[in-house]
Structure 1
């Protein structure tokens, strides 16, 4: 039994953001009806890497039903409205204005389906000058300033996964759960706007606050942290180790137990984290030779004994065999099964329902709601 068993979710969704929200609802037991256009939603056609199924689609659409509807056809629009009459949650990430052209604006949804929790996933807030802007993951990463703080000193980069989309989907998921609790108290649904830009701007709060209140522009430091130090990779004699020192107690343990240089604790330029950030080049000149004289195994032994956090740089080719990677099995439309990372918070007993073939449930859904 899932926590959301009996909940009906209708989704007009594509790509990543909205499917990320609804796959989490499906994982918890909700019935999710995914409405697709003829030919399938965008992510179905990104690639065919997973035994003929797109990697994005296999990841984000397990446990859903697929119905192909033409929402420009009055008959199919009637089917959608019949679904919404019974639905608990409606999630959509169409371009701004598309729902209004179908007679399903936020105001019309509230009037016609008062029980419904309706979630509109958009690029930008509808009360801003960017309201009608198309928004894709990399565009939002760039617009929000995220790329400005990511990369090397010479080159800004995007995060290598769909960070803006994923953040938006998780924000939408949390908002749906809050709205369900609120509906238990009031008996009424609500319309929720989730902006991709808002989600990443929230993530940018620390660089923004540093700039607005400290006059400091966060620079790009590659694998080194911009505002906590030393928090960076160090080359040992036979490889690299990433060390994270977040407070003065850890700094003391690093100096005494790892690099065996307690005299660094007396240096005025290293007394606080802010001092160490300001004087990172001077600190690097002290620490780099000390790590270079150690083998990785010795550095790890000392870091563990001192209680200083560390990690190793993992290549993508190493991830499949990572000892911390937990997996779950997912059935594909072709009937074969693959494994993928188990969602956070799910136990070993967690099981998934299949990824739907395009339109696999269309006729059943037409009969049910037609």
Structure 2
């Protein structure tokens, strides 16, 4: 069985944040109905044609959903959406600021016919406040929340290649939705939730705000090194590879100096006596470590690090990750049959012994429109009429 059997989700969504959230809910078994613009669909359908003619973004975030083409600006289309919302347990929306309100599809409007409704707003900055009318995309939010300026090498900032701000909002949105469903089981009450990309990323800034408030530190860009710990991170070896390791404690540091790089004299150097002092003298200390690691092969250092129990790993390209033995063991790469052929995807990482994960279809644009309308009482004649006038 699926954990979210009989939970109906209406998705008023585009891009990545809300679609990824509802995809997770679909993985858990929810019946997700995705509303898309007639003839166009979600913007993420058009970013490339990498997957047998489909967009890689669409394949990533839209599995386990039903696609319904619906013109929400038309009177008939708006009515249909309200009828679907009336039967929904959850509505998730991340439209541009003010759109659902202008369409009468906001929480206050929909709860008049569905008091138990759980309604999740995912936005960039929130639905009120000084930035309420600003649109937000991942790159914009990476800049706004400080990620770009603290990421990259000392001579140049860099964005994080993943849509990390979208993913953050999707994960918080999923947590909030599941929590609201659990609370509704106890109280019988629905509610409105707000998740902002800005607030979500602030919550992921970790120790950096504390370092600023109490040490007046603005984080420098440190490339492949760690802002708080050293030695830490990938180091190039003499065979053109990298060995990636993490020294997390003073006992580890002693083992590293004595047993791994054979430089016990570093333990006597007052500049390197603590992790905080090593960070203060980062340039000098890390140059010593980098020069030493560059004298031997990746396998040499891997064996030494493993022998003393210091965490280490490889620095892989994407093809090596997808062919990784742990990827295979966890069965993370699976396939779906589609009309265009078999499509690979990365599975949901949850492993629950009392519930299954859904691994079903990848919806073509509007393929479920007629079937969904029939479930809410529309006749074949009515459906054809709506199709003729472009509502669906």
Q: TM-score range by the shorter chain?
A: over 0.9
The 3 A distance-change label for structure 1 pair 144 and 274 is same
Moved more, 87-96 or 255-264: 255-264
Give the equivalent residue in structure 2 for 1:303.
305
Q: Distance in 2 between matches of 1:314 and 1:131?
A: 41
1:212 is paired with a residue of what secondary structure? helix
Aligned to 1:65, what secondary structure does the other structure show? strand
Is 1:368 the counterpart of 2:368? The answer is no
1:345 aligns with 350
Give 1:97's aligned residue. 98
Mapping 1:20-35, distance limit 5 Å: 20-35=20-35
Q: Tell me what 1:195 maps to.
A: 196
For 2:349 and 2:215, how far apart are their aligned partners in 1? 36
Name the SS of the counterpart of 1:124 in structure 2.
coil
Q: Which deviations, in whole Å up to 9, do the C-alpha atoms of 1:254-308 show, x marking residues without a partner?
A: 1122112222223222222211211111212332232122221110000001111
* TM-score, normalised relative to structure 2: 0.90
Q: Is the 8 A contact 2:2 2:358 kept in 1?
A: no
Partner of 2:284: 282
Please give the root-mean-square deviation of Cα atoms over the aligned residues, in Å.
1.7
Q: CA deviation at 1:322?
A: 2.1
Matched, 1:212 2:213: yes
CA distance in 1, matches of 2:351, 2:247: 30
Q: What is the CA deviation profile of residues 122-179 of structure 1, one whole-angstrom value per residue up to 9, with x for unaligned ones? A: 1102232111101011000011111111011111111001111111111100110111
CA distance in 1, matches of 2:153, 2:290: 19
Check the 8 A contact 1:43/1:54 in 2, yes or no.
yes
Does 1 or 2 have the higher relative contact order (CA < 8 Å, sep 6+)? 2
Where does the alignment leave 5 or more consecutive residues of structure 1 unmatched?
A: none
| Structure 2 residue matching 1:352: 3-state secondary structure | coil
Is the CA contact (8 Å cut-off) linking 1:333 and 1:357 kept in structure 2? no
Q: Write the distance in 2 (CA, Å) between the matches of 1:368 and 1:340.
A: 30
Aligned positions of 1:82-161 closer than 5 A? 82-161=83-162
Farther off after superposition, 63-72 or 326-335: 326-335
Q: Distance in 1 between matches of 2:279 and 2:129?
A: 36
- Aligned-partner Cα distance in 2 for 1:7–1:110: 17
CA contact (8 A) 2:64 2:358 kept: no
Look up the SS of the partner of 1:226 in the other structure.
coil
Point out 4+ residue stretches in structure 1 off by more than 4 angstroms: 347-351
Question: Does the CA-based 8 Å contact 1:110-1:190 persist in structure 2?
Answer: no
Structure 2: which 5+ residue stretches go unaligned?
Answer: 379-392
How far the C-alpha of 1:333 sits from its partner, in A, is: 4.5
- Alpha-carbon deviation of 1:365? 1.2
TM-score (norm: length of structure 1): 0.95
